[in-house]
Amino acid sequence: MSVNENKDWEPKIIAICCNWCSYSGADLAGTNRLSYPANVKIIRVPCSCRVNPMFVLRAFQRGADGVILCGCHPGDCHYSTGNYHTRRRMTLLFSMLNYLGIESARTRVEWVSAAEGQRFVDVMDGFVKTITELGPNRRLEDLRCKQN
């Protein structure tokens, strides 16, 4: 794992948040005037299990440096079992990405509930810090999507 020394570079983070918990959690962070890094771009999905593995791969291809999935805590899913599906699917996907040589620190799943505005901020702060240390994602990018 190399440490990034390029000071001008800012990571791009895609946070995929479920509508019922994590997105509301981010909303709560906003209404409480808590600040979280501007590198994080949130995508709202109905449920964390809506996320197709292709979403994660595509985000990386189009220039994301890290992808984080946020969902309801186990047992709290709005659709009862969605996050259990997410847990198994993403465990396998991230392990496969690691197997192909993509650092597993670039991918993460976290549970953030609608009441956890502070936790959302902490999670994002931590994730942005990890990715900043890792440096830009060069392995997954698609040359056709590259902007010079």
Partner 1 sequence: MQAELIKRATELMEDGTVNRVLGWQKGQFVYDITPAVFTSVEDLKENFVYNAFCGDNLSKYLRAESEKEGKVLVFLKPCDTYSFNQLLTEYKIHRENVYVIGIECNGKTSGEDLKKKGIEGILDVEENGDELTVRTIYGDEKVSLKDVESYRCATCKSRKHVAYDELIGEDGDILDSHRFDQVEEIEKMSAEERFNFWRGEFSRCIRCNACRNVCPACTCEKCVFDNYDSGLYNKAAENTFEEQCFHIIRAYHVAGRCTDCGECSRVCPEHIPLHLLNRKFIKDYDALYGDFMAGAEVGQMSPVVDFTMDNDAEPSVVQKGGAE
Of the residues 42, 47, 90, 121, which one makes contact with partner 1 according to CB under 8 A: 90
Report which residue type is found at 25: G
In whole angstroms, how close is the CB of 54 to partner 1 at the nearest point?
6
CA 33 to CA 30: how far, in whole Å? Answer: 5
- Does the footprint of partner 1 cover residue 103 (CB under 8 A)? yes
CA 61 to CA 78: how far, in whole Å? Answer: 30
Of the residues 108, 116, 117, 132, which one makes contact with partner 1 according to CB under 8 A: 108
Q: How many binding residues for partner 1 (CB under 8 A)?
A: 42
Q: How many CB atoms lie within 10 A of CB 118?
A: 13
For residue 25, give the nearest of 127, 110, 113, 123 by alpha carbon.
113
Could you tell me which stretch among 3-11, 13-21, 97-105, 113-121 binds partner 1 (CB under 8 A)?
A: 97-105
Query: Crossing angle for the helix pair 117-134 and 22-31, nearest 10 degrees?
Result: 100
In whole angstroms, how close is the CB of 132 to partner 1 at the nearest point?
15
Contact, 114 vs 78, CB < 8 A? no
- Does the footprint of partner 1 cover residue 148 (CB under 8 A)? no
Q: Which two tokens stand for residue 61?
A: 């291809």
In whole angstroms, how close is the CB of 120 to partner 1 at the nearest point?
15
- Does the footprint of partner 1 cover residue 89 (CB under 8 A)? yes
For residue 19, give the nearest of 55, 80, 71 by alpha carbon.
71
- Interacting residues with partner 1 between 40 and 69 (CB under 8 A): 53-54, 57, 60-61
Positions touching partner 1 (CB under 8 A) are: 1, 53-54, 57, 60-61, 74-75, 81, 84-85, 87-105, 107-111, 130, 139-144
